Amino acid sequence: STIKEKLFTSIIESTNAGNDKVTVVGVGQVGLACAFSILSKKISSDVVLIDVLKDKLKGEMLDLQHGSSFLENAKVNASTDFAASAGSKICIVTAGARQREGETRLDLVQRNTEIFKGIIPKLVQHSPNTILLIVSNPVDILTYVAWKLSGLPKNRVIGSGTHLDSARFRFLIAQKFNIAPTSVHSWIIGEHGDTSVPVWSGVNIAGVRLRDIDPTVGTECDQEKWNEIHKQVISSAYEVIKLKGYTSWAIGLACANLTSAILRNSNQIHAVSTLVCGFHGIEHEVFLSLPCSLCIDGIACVVEQSLTCEERQMLHTSANTMTNSIKNLKI
């Protein structure tokens, strides 16, 4: 008999899937930042990486495995085969093509839709009760695509949406006041991107609404130009990409935060992309971000904020943009 057999007497067959298994599809900059944030914050003890790049995948897996004694012995596996994802509680999808020179946004959407056709059904096949957390851009459209391709109920298909935009918004407001970002209560809803909606009417610090101090806050008439902050939020990604080539840490941390909220069944409220048909007068079947409470089954409920006419109008503009984008999509 081997040393192993002499040393250990087996009492039960050990199970492979834990209760907190998370699969990350795409080990690019964003996927790795997600995986690393989840591991280093000890949100999951069982992370699987999936990509089409065999060597890159193995290299990243080994590098992370070598750190496992500093990650509470978390298991890290990687494979090009989706069977490795079996039994995942959450599948985070960051795979996708980047825009080619001269390529329109719609061409990119179709290209990423084709990639999703090879990913989403396989994830659901191996983890029929999973929650899909879509990160690839354009995230609101691809979350809709994932919902259609997966056949999962709407509560189980979530886009990271404006969770990141809201974090950037809080950070920039916090900087102006020299307070902590978590002490700023402010939300960005709608599309993750250019038509996102800053809900200035609700921005408050310790329950004090900025609009009660100055009704013009966030409007074009605002002397202090607070609305510049929303413009900065929109240009944040472009700025970071111009400076370092991609964005990774903030989106990785944002996804880890959503993963934690779900796995811990916390009912924390975050702005994520969900099916918005029926909310704020939207009649289209599109995905956009609204504040949602997150639990072990995904989205438990949507918060209906009291929006001003202008904010509601902006949300409808987001919805129309989405409708036009998905109109010609071949799913």
Residues that bind ligand 6V0 (CB under 6 A): 25-31, 50-53, 94-96, 98, 115, 118-119, 135-137, 139, 160, 164, 192, 246-247, 251
3-state SS of the chain: helix, strand, coil percent to 5? 45, 20, 40
Residue 320, number of CB atoms within 10 A of its CB: 14
Q: Which residue is nearest to ligand 6V0 (CB)?
A: 28
Which is closer to ligand 6V0, CB of 124 or CB of 139?
139
Task: Determine contact, residues 187/204, Cβ cutoff 8 Å.
Answer: no
Pair of tokens at residue 81: 């085969």
Which is closer to ligand 6V0, CB of 46 or CB of 51?
51
Which among 134, 198, 122 has a CA at the least distance from the CA of 166? 198
Pair of tokens at residue 271: 């702005």
Whole-number Å distance between alpha carbons of 210 and 246: 34
- Sign, CA torsion 121/125/128/130: negative
Closest approach, Cβ 163 to ligand 6V0, in A, equals 8
Which is closer to ligand 6V0, CB of 177 or CB of 246?
246
Closest approach, Cβ 254 to ligand 6V0, in A, equals 7
DSSP strand E in the chain: where? 21-25, 46-50, 75-79, 90-93, 131-134, 157-159, 184-185, 188-189, 197-198, 204-205, 208-209, 268-275, 287-295, 298-302
Closest approach, Cβ 57 to ligand 6V0, in A, equals 8
The strands making up 204-205's β-sheet, listed across from edge to edge, are: 184-185, 204-205, 208-209
Closest approach, Cβ 119 to ligand 6V0, in A, equals 5
Q: Which one from 126, 163, 192, 230 is the annotated catalytic residue?
A: 192
Closest approach, Cβ 210 to ligand 6V0, in A, equals 26
Which among 29, 32, 82, 27 has a CA at the least distance from the CA of 55? 27
Which is closer to ligand 6V0, CB of 139 or CB of 217?
139
Q: Which helix (H) or strand (E) holds 126?
A: helix 120-126
Which is closer to ligand 6V0, CB of 103 or CB of 212?
103
Pair of tokens at residue 159: 């886009």
Closest approach, Cβ 116 to ligand 6V0, in A, equals 8
Which is closer to ligand 6V0, CB of 139 or CB of 199?
139
Catalytic status, residue 192:
yes
Enzyme catalytic residues: 192
